[in-house]
Structure formats: structure tokens, C-alpha cells
């Protein structure tokens, strides 16, 4: 190990009600394994809750923590771990602590939906971030001024965010690579049968077809363009031109790999985003329609019912 690394780094994990256990375990086990593979106790970690009491995870298990926020010792990065809800007991205390840490220049991170809490605390202004794909639409609606990329993780100066799940592994592997070397990061990844270490530029899923690995690069590029242009959908001609194909060639590409037309696929993307907005925000249904490229309320309602078997208003009533 280089002489500069004879110190240690401590990560604090701030847990809130119904946090995702897998995201936490993936993050901690990755740095634990780095210690084992490097034969150095370089990383340490602590768990924290608002009052120092046990926190119930989304799977129902209660996790005892080591510290309350009032007794939080110095940490190199403080991660907030949140999942099924962004509302929880003692939230004002958590927000106040994050703001205080931010003013002091602390390094802050969010696992899964932790980015939402960081944003509410004003700690992502002027920074890139990411969040679990299921919550991205609601995040963008609530914080339009913040760049939420939809990548698997983001490191932007003193802000570290990831989409949770296995992306917690990728984020920690990137930290290990920066602290040690790509070789150690690969050794740790192999311990988890993590076949490919994803980079900061890797995207989360981009639509109903969640895994486009091994499929045409031009197909993936078109799908990304679709996903990035839902409010003002691009025409078939512009999509085809962007990848150097004819409209007919694009149609054949979609039929061969996805068994549907580009238009049908694009509509599915737009309706999925609409469902996310209906479930995650209180935006009027007409605003949701406009945000997903529908200029007619009746056409939106008709298309939504055809896709999901219920009307947008029924979706909203079920959610709230």
C-alpha cells in the first residue's frame, strides 16, 4: 500500500425508516472485502440513526445502530440510506444535520433514494446526482434545477450518490479503485461474482426492456434518445437520422430485437413515465400528460387505460 494510504477512512451510514437492507449490505460488504483482499484495515464504518435507536428496514428486520446524530463522530463520507419512503419520524432532525454537515464542507452521499433527502436538505444544488430509476420522475418534478442523470452512480466533487441495489457495489468499487487501484477493485468484484464493474457513465434501465446488453448498439442509442425525450417526443425520421439508419431499418431493428414497432416502444416509455409521475407526485393529471408528450387529455387517458387497464385518475386514487 502506498505510504499516503497508511491512514484509514470511515464511512457513516445514516439509516431511516424502511431503508433498503440490500443497498446497505452491498456497500458495507464491498469495503469489508477490500480490507480482506488488501490485508489492511483501511476502511471502517459506523451506523447512525436520528436518535440512536434501532431502525426497521424495508424487509421488516430491525437494525441496531452505534450512534445518534447528536453523537455522530467525524466521517470521511456520510451516506443517507433511504428506500420505500422519504417521509419518516425525526426527518427535521435529519435534514438539519445534513445542512449543518454541508455548511462544514462534509462529504455526503445517498444510497437508493437517499438523493431525495439530500436534495430536500439543499445539498445537491449545482451537483450531478442519480437516484433509483423508479423515483427519478418524481425527483425531477420536485427538483427540476438539479441534474439527475439516471446513471448507476454519480461522484461530483463532495457528493456521492447511487441508485441502490447492486449499484452500491459499483460506487464502492469506484472508491476502492481511486483509493487503491483498479486491480484491487477487480479482486473485490470477483468475490461477489460481479461480472462487470459499471462506470459512472453506465445508465440504469431505460425502459420496459430492462436489459439491452448484447443487442444492437444503434438500438440502445435510439432507446436512450427516446428515454431522454419524453416531453417532446422525437420523430421517427430524427431518431433514425441520429444513428445513421433509415426509418425502415429502425423499424426492422425494433421488430427483430424487441418484437414491437419503435412507435409502440416509445409510447410504452412515455406511459411508464406517466405512471411514475402519477404515483410519486401530486401533479395534476393534465400536467402529467403534458410532461409525457400528450397534448390531449382524452388521448392520454385512452392510451393509459389500454396500457395498464385503469385510468390515470384510478391510478392516482389507488396511490394516494
User: How far, in Å, are 89, 266, 290 from residue 233 at the CA level?
Assistant: 41, 8, 11
Is the confidence at residue 2, as pLDDT, over 50?
A: no
The whole-chain average pLDDT of the chain stands at 92
Length of the chain measured in residues: 320
Number of domains in the chain: 2
d(CA 248, CA 68): 61
222 in the same domain as 78: no
Q: What is the mean pLDDT of residues 35-58?
A: 96
Is 201 a member of any domain? no
Instruction: Tell me the β-bridge partners of 46.
Output: 12
231 with 176, same domain: the answer is no
* End position of a domain, from candidates 158, 192, 226: 192
- 33 and 133 in a single domain? The answer is yes
- We report the CATH number of the domain holding residue 231 as 1.10.10.60
Walk across the sheet containing 43-49 and list its strands.
67-68, 43-49, 9-15, 77-82, 108-112, 159-162, 153-156
Q: What is the predicted pLDDT for the residue at 317?
A: 77
Quick one: pLDDT at residue 133? Answer: 85
Instruction: Examine the pLDDT at 85 and tell me if it is beyond 70.
Output: yes
pLDDT in tens, 167-201: 999 999 999 999 999 999 999 999 999 988 999 98
Residue 33 maps to a domain: yes
Please determine, for residue 320, whether its predicted confidence score (pLDDT) is greater than 80: no
Q: Quick one: what percent of the chain has pLDDT higher than 70?
A: 94
Contact status, residue 194 vs residue 236, Cβ threshold 8 Å = no
Place 209 in a pLDDT band, splitting at 50, 70 and 90: low
- State whether 225 and 164 are in the same domain: no
Alpha-carbon span 204 to 223, nearest angstrom: 12
Residue with the larger pLDDT of the pair 76 and 282: 76
pTM summary value: 0.79
DSSP symbol at 69: G
pLDDT number for residue 4: 46
pLDDT of residue 1: 47
101: containing domain? 9-192
* Residue 174 and residue 135 share a domain: yes
List Cα–Cα distances, 273 to 132, 164, 262, 281, 292, in angstroms. 13, 20, 17, 12, 7
pLDDT score recorded for residue 156: 97
CA-nearest of 301, 240, 295, 235 to 271 is: 301
Q: What is the CATH number of the domain that holds 124?
A: 3.40.50.880
- Long-range contacts formed by 228-231: CB under 8 A, 24+ apart: 230/269, 230/270, 230/273, 230/291, 230/292, 230/293, 231/290, 231/291, 231/292, 231/293
How crowded is residue 74: how many other Cβ atoms within 10 Å of its Cβ? 8
Q: Domain ends where: 192, 209, 230?
A: 192
Domain boundary residue among 192, 207, 225? Answer: 192
Q: Looking at the structure, tell me whether residues 186 and 232 fall in a common domain.
A: no
- 3-state secondary structure (DSSP) of residue 245: coil
Closest of 122, 50, 138, 135 to residue 92, by C-alpha: 50
Q: What is the mean pLDDT of residues 243-251?
A: 96
pLDDT band at 205 (very low <50, low <70, confident <90, very high): low
Q: Which has more confidence, 45 or 215? A: 45
Ramachandran category for residue 175: left, alpha or beta (phi over 0 → left; psi -120 to 50 → alpha) = alpha
> Distance between CA atoms of 130 and 132, rounded to whole angstroms?
7
Please tell me whether residues 28 and 157 are part of one structural domain.
yes
pLDDT given for residue 262 in this prediction: 95
Domain-located, residue 208: no
| Residue 168 sits in the same domain as residue 225 | no
Could you tell me if 17 and 162 lie in one domain?
A: yes
Instruction: Say how far apart CA 100 and CA 60 lie, in whole Å.
Output: 31
User: Quick one: 69 and 165 in the same domain?
Assistant: yes
Alpha helices in 62-128, H assignment, sequence order: 91-103, 114-120
| Residue 64 backbone phi and psi in degrees, to 5 | -75, 140
Rounded to whole angstroms, the Cα distance separating 148 from 130 reads 5
Residue 149: closest CA among 135, 170, 128, 133: 128
What are the backbone dihedrals phi and psi of residue 177, each rounded to the nearest 5 degrees, phi first? Answer: -60, -40
Task: Tell whether 61 is covered by a domain.
Answer: yes
Specify whether 141 is located in the same domain as 67.
yes
How many H helices and E strands in the chain? 13, 11
Residues 63 and 126 in one domain: yes
pLDDT of residue 268: 93
Nearest-5° angle of CA 150, CA 47, CA 26?
45
Task: Look up residue 76 and give its DSSP letter.
Answer: S
Distance, CA of 161 to CA of 156 (rounded, Å):
9
Amino acid at each position: 500500500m502506498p505510504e499516503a494510504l497508511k491512514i484509514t477512512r470511515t464511512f457513516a451510514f445514516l439509516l431511516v425508516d424502511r431503508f433498503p437492507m440490500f443497498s446497505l449490505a452491498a456497500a458495507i460488504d464491498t469495503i469489508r472485502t477490500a480490507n480482506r483482499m488488501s490485508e489492511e484495515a483501511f476502511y471502517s464504518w459506523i451506523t447512525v440513526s436520528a436518535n440512536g435507536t434501532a431502525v426497521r428496514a424495508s424487509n421488516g428486520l430491525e437494525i441496531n445502530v452505534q450512534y445518534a446524530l447528536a453523537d455522530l463522530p467525524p466521517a470521511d463520507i456520510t451516506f443517507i440510506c433511504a428506500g420505500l419512503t422519504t417521509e419518516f419520524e425525526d426527518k427535521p432532525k435529519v435534514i438539519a444535520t445534513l445542512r449543518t454537515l454541508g455548511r462544514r464542507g462534509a462529504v455526503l452521499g445517498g444510497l437508493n433514494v437517499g438523493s431525495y433527502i439530500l436534495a430536500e436538505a439543499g445539498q445537491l444544488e449545482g451537483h450531478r446526482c442519480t437516484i433509483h430509476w423508479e423515483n427519478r420522475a418524481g425527483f425531477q418534478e420536485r427538483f427540476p434545477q438539479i441534474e439527475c442523470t439516471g446513471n448507476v452512480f454519480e461522484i461530483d466533487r463532495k457528493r456521492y450518490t447511487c441508485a441502490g441495489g447492486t449499484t452500491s457495489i459499483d460506487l464502492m468499487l469506484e472508491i476502492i479503485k481511486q483509493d487503491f487501484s483498479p486491480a484491487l477493485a477487480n479482486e473485490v468484484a470477483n468475490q461477489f461474482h460481479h461480472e462487470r464493474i459499471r462506470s459512472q457513465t453506465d445508465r440504469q434501465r431505460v425502459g420496459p426492456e430492462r436489459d439491452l446488453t448484447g443487442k444492437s448498439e444503434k438500438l440502445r442509442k435510439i432507446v436512450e434518445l427516446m428515454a431522454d425525450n419524453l416531453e417532446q417526443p422525437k420523430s421517427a425520421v430524427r431518431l433514425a437520422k441520429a444513428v445513421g439508419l433509415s426509418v425502415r431499418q429502425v423499424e426492422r431493428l425494433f421488430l427483430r430485437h424487441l418484437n414491437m414497432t419503435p412507435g409502440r416502444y416509445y409510447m410504452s416509455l412515455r406511459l411508464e413515465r406517466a405512471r411514475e409521475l402519477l404515483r410519486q407526485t401530486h401533479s395534476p393529471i393534465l400536467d402529467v400528460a403534458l410532461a409525457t408528450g400528450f397534448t390531449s387529455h382524452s388521448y392520454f387517458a385512452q392510451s393509459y387505460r389500454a396500457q395498464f387497464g385503469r385510468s390515470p385518475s384510478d391510478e392516482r386514487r389507488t396511490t394516494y
